[in-house]
Amino acid sequence: MPAYLVEDARKVTTKRLAEMKAQGKKIAMLTSYDYTTATIVDAAGVDIILVGDSASNVMAGNMTTLPITLDQMIYHARSVARGVKRALVVCDMPFGTYQVDATSAVRNAIRIMQESGSDAVKLEGGSEIIDAVRRILEAGIPVCGHLGLTPQSICKFGTYAVRAKEEAEAEKLVSDALLLEEAGCFAIVLEKIPAALTQRVVEAVKIPVIGIGAGPSDGQVLVVDDMLGKNKGFSPKFLRRYADLHTIMTDAIGQFVSDVKSGDFPNPDTESY
């Protein structure tokens, strides 16, 4: 059996993720934004599929995650959810949909769940958004937290550099993680913080901690297009590339262009028509 094929084909739930942390089993998480990719990611054994607001960068070519709308996120998440049998599908709440007040946050989270078929939502931030987190959880919607580098606040930070290197920010991050756990979040994503701080959080909370550019933790998340090497221009230090799809796709498409131009495609010997 290939190493990546899962032994347990049951649908992943938040309860299963808690058990995985308790048993020391690592959690694999990747983004997806469309149906076809989601079917592949799911069949390959990924435990959590994140419909990230990174769709704003990866799918739409924006510089930041800020422009993507709730309707656009629901469209991506619905496409993904249709393709997934096993993984837990988590949809990012986009910028502006949970920061105004807790009532509009819960209304927007309900729209995501009802209209997309996602299993959970993810929100960026700690104490600043805890009322919204609590109200969404009270509505019966599982919430994943996201601390450290929070790309929706990029205009405030002004940089994508590693966060929480200073003790004051590290202290706040640990207390935010405890606050999110106490509120009832089922997991926390930690983005671009020092590995030692990630370890502090992993030990401080019982819920799974999933890292990106944050060193070892209970699981890892990557943007699927990045780990497949679709984007040649993006190569942060933390990224491991598992394929070079940019080259594979360019070669294949170049071959198609050349076959069409030369008259080799279509060809009655190789294609029926």
**Minimum distance, C-beta of residue 149 to ligand KIV, in the bound complex (Å):** 9
Please work out the total of residues on this chain that contact ligand KIV, with binding judged by CB under 6 A.
Answer: 11
Q: Please return the burial class of 184, using the count of CB atoms within 10 Å of its CB with bins 0-12, 13-18 and 19+.
A: middle
Is residue 89 part of the contact set for ligand KIV (CB under 6 A)? no
Is residue 31 part of the contact set for ligand KIV (CB under 6 A)? yes
**What do you get for the CA distance between the two ends of the chain, in Å?**
39
Is residue 198 part of the contact set for ligand KIV (CB under 6 A)? no
**Minimum distance, C-beta of residue 231 to ligand KIV, in the bound complex (Å):** 13
The Cα 131–Cα 196 span in angstroms is 29
Nearest Cα neighbor of 146 from 187, 188, 204, 107 is: 188
Instruction: Please pick, among 19, 115, 181, 191, the residue that the annotation labels catalytic.
Output: 191
**Minimum distance, C-beta of residue 255 to ligand KIV, in the bound complex (Å):** 32
Are residues 224 and 234 in contact, defined by beta-carbon separation less than 8 angstroms? no
x/- string (CB under 6 A) for ligand KIV, residues 163-192?
--------------------------x-x-
Q: In the complex, which residue's CB is closest to ligand KIV? A: 52
Instruction: Verify whether residue 182 is a known catalytic residue.
Output: no
Residue ranges binding ligand KIV (CB under 6 A): 31, 50, 52-54, 92, 189, 191, 212, 221, 223
